[in-house]
Chain A
Amino acid sequence: MTEKQKLVVIGNGMAPGRMLEHLFETAPDAYEVTIFNAEPRVNYDRIMLSPVLSGEKSFEDIIIHGDGWYVDHGVMLYKGHKVVGIDREAKTVRSEHGEVAAYDKLVIATGSAPFIIPVPGHKLPGVLTYRDLDDVDAMLLAAQSRGKAVVIGGGLLGLEAAAGLKERGMDVTVIHLMPTLMERQLDPAAGYLLEQELESRGIKVITKASTKQILGDTRVEGIELEDGTIIPATLVVMAVGIRPSAALAKDAGLSVNRGIVVSDHMQTSDPDIYSVGECVEVNGNVYGLVAPLYQMAEVAAAHLAGDTSKRFVETSTATKLKVTGINLYSVGDFAEAEDREEIVLRDAAAGVYKRLVLKDNRILGVVLYGETADGAWFFDHLKKQTDITEMRETLIFGQAYQGGSPMDPMAAVAALPDDAEICGCNGVCKGKITTAITSKGLTGLDEVRAHTKASASCGTCTGLVEQLLALTLGDAYNPAAVTPMCGCTELGHDDVRRLIKAKELKTIPAVMQELEWKTSCGCAKCRPALNYYLVCDWPDEYADDYQSRFINERVHANIQKDGTYSVVPRMWGGMTSSTELRAIADVVDKFNIPAVKCTGGQRIDMLGIKKEDLPAVWADLGKAGFVSGQAYAKGLRTVKTCVGTDWCRFGTQDSTGLGIKLEKFMWGSWTPAKLKLAVSGCPRNCAEATCKDIGVICVDSGYEIHFAGAAGLDIKGTEILGHVKTEDEVMEHVVALAQMYREQGRYLERIYKWAKRIGLDEIRDQIIQQPEKRKGYYDRFVFSQKFAQVDPWSERVSGKDKHEFNPMATLSLEAAE
């Protein structure tokens, strides 16, 4: 077997991400890949930052490759490592933190940097660009003040930023140098309509305006235009264009003009170094829209995999504005010229404007405003250079009016040829989508996105893709289809939970009988879920079915890869004592426990214990006062604390005491997935409460309750539930929240996923605004605890489930004869 070559990628944006996807598909074993990302995060969909800014999507929604993807493909990803040098002699790159990586092939994907107008004051705090998630976060922070914002630049990005900030409650003014907005994509008429629309939404637009300076002493206070106009502002966003980031390549001695110069194979002047993305200059052009960047990714991946047949070819790309409620589409060349003709349709009342630019009876450019459904159809004729003489009379009315009676949208999609482009961002045509649907048996939008990438970037073609699904699958397509719990039923988790309550089903066989399970006794997916739902819904009546629990919950320890177990006793709030530590030391010695480790939840883990020894280990631990830490449970795990006012000079409240109180109150409860808590004594947050399922931050005036954080495969800061004044209120709110999650969560759904599904406002409304609801949840939790708070270890030391821990028989060799 040949050794894998080393591929180093500088940059982790959309272009290199797509390149690696292609590469792993065609040549999965060719390279060992290392990525250096100057941004401290995974690959996300930069085009979708605007919906994040406006609040229509969250960051999680726009992640392209989660951490798991890198793990699955064996990619070493350095997050937050900016590469500062390339040594082409030694074939190594070096990051600012001193990390050095050797390469056989190198891909430079440093992208672009926003252009900053060097006017006086451009370095003041409060002047931002619009490029990455940090910019969005900074804008969101600024928007909290509900102040005034000025956006410099009336192009695609600037207008999306303006609309997002307006949506977030800011008073927004757009300053644009040219006479009409988006002049590179729109003709003046459409630009004017767009301006009217924005003004009607309360966004002020000033065109033909040049910025003289940004005003302010210690931070932004406003801007002054060349004509002397002063506009007060607490936030200034510069969105006037981008420049390829090519400095690193230049320093390495590679050929650089406006961008890094590459061949149509995406090779730089050094054949072992490739470049893709916005940093690239190919055939004299630089690109900023996603479709050509994805084409570069495809070409580079093919070349890296040894296929030299693919070359980068320039194609026109359609532009869309991602502002909800504004439909705008443009593609091609729409400047006026002597030999060109145009067809224009205006409907002022409906806010519709359509313009086709023709030359020799062929479409050259398309601008659509207000009604853009025919964009793909026009674009198809533009690309194919169809002679439109025959349909010239009705062309502007769109596809529906060609040949006879108007078509419904479905028929229009059906009439599109197989090579018509549906998804412009990813260059996916109709035929590829329908083939994937039939050959791979796809039934939903997510699957089509996974297999073809169609509608997976900006999402504006989602409707078309859904129509294709409906067309190809006929009645079998059900967009609202619920994912079934498992192969044993057609019902989803929510339906099953609802029916368990409604039909008062109180045993697993009853559920399976009444809900018409397709298997006689379920499977390893549905049985643990049903067992949890029944435990949660009928705490006093349901007899827990241990045979439907995963082994860890059945033997109250964590199974390890070699079939041994690990044991973690509870240390309330992370506090321990010499007596406890001595007892643990004695147990470790007595049972020859090979490994002892501190966990992330402030407890001690003993690993490598033989199953037969578990009850004896627990007996000894029990004598020292230990109970099970439930480190194996889909239930309450740890409550991590800092030392708070007991010791800390910054502590504002007794965080340790509160943590212990919470743990003692909530231990033993089963939840849909594991539940980890933390209490920090001050906003310095030493207990890391802001990435927990539920966290409390003590402040001088009381307690901030947080929830829905994550720090596993996904990393996510918590959301704020609310602020309360006393420990008792903390208890009531936290417990009520936990119970709401217990009653509504789907099995194995962590609290942050549940919260995202239910909606943060709904949760806040029920737990904070409605005291009687909160009290109801709290009371039901307390009731269920009566049956749950039994130490499983002491039960088993007393002989429960003895069969679990001993072999049925041990045969000597003689007995086998």
Chain B
Amino acid sequence: MNAMTQAWVRVGSINDIPRRGARCVKSGEMSIAIFRTADDRVFALEDKCPHRNGPLSQGIVHDGCVTCPLHNWVISLETGVAQGADEGQTLSIPVRLDGEEVILGLGPAK
């Protein structure tokens, strides 16, 4: 099972993230965007648009997608795949909720 290979890290409360918004978590060099939808689901993507590396965490969140602030690419929160005619994919990172706690899965455990 996937979870066995993940190191799960608590990064904060869902209440820290605005609905239809995002917050960033810095992990070493990588910036991870954690999104909260209108219906309180959470998703995590690397904070980089596959197009020109725009910070997705700064985009407008709508219906399971985020629109990149630089050139309006629309990225699926669930898969990181670019929607519509654009092609590309952003790394998606496992994330789950434990009550109100947001828990991020960061790569294989050592």
A interface residues, Cβ below 8 angstroms from B: 519-524, 527-528, 546-552, 554-555, 559, 561, 563, 803, 807-811, 813, 815-817
Contacts and interface: CB of A to CB of B under 8 A. Distances in A.
Contact of B62 (A523, A554, A815, A816): A523
Nearest to A508: B20
A803 B34 CA distance: 13
B60 interface: yes
A334 B92 CA distance: 74
Interface residues of B, number: 41
Nearest to B30: A811
B23 A803 contact: yes
Given A559-B70, A563-B54, A817-B110, A808 B11 contact: yes
B88 interface: no
Centre residue among B11, B16, B27, B62 by max chain A CB count within 10 A: B62
Contact of A816 (B7, B58, B70): B7
B55 to A, nearest CB: 4
Contact of B9 (A521, A554, A811): A811
A810 B69 contact: no
Contacts of B70: 559, 561
A551 B24 CA distance: 14
B63 A521 contact: yes
B26 A816 contact: no
A489 B26 CA distance: 38
A792 B94 CA distance: 36
A524 B7 contact: no
Contacts of A813: 28
B38 interface: yes
Centre residue among B37, B39, B63 by max chain A CB count within 10 A: B63
8 contacts: A520-B38, A521-B20, A522-B62, A522-B63, A551-B58, A559-B70, A809-B12, A813-B28
Nearest to B107: A816
Contacts of B107: 816
A-B pairs, top 5 by smallest CB distance, nearest first, are A524-B67, A808-B23, A551-B58, A524-B60, A809-B11
Given A559-B69, A563-B54, A807 B25 contact: yes
Interface string B57-96: 0111111010101101010000000000000000000000
Centre residue among A523, A810, A811, A813 by max chain B CB count within 10 A: A811
A808 B17 contact: yes
Centre residue among A523, A546, A550, A816 by max chain B CB count within 10 A: A816
A565 B9 CA distance: 30
A523 B110 contact: no
A521 B58 contact: no
Given A524-B72, A563-B54, A816-B107, A811 B60 contact: no
B25 A808 contact: yes
Contacts of A547: 18-21, 60-61
Nearest to A565: B58
A524 B59 contact: yes
A807 B58 contact: no
Contacts of B24: 807-808
A815 B106 CA distance: 10
A552 B70 CA distance: 11
A549 B69 CA distance: 11
A54 B93 CA distance: 63
A547 B63 CA distance: 13
A523 B23 CA distance: 19
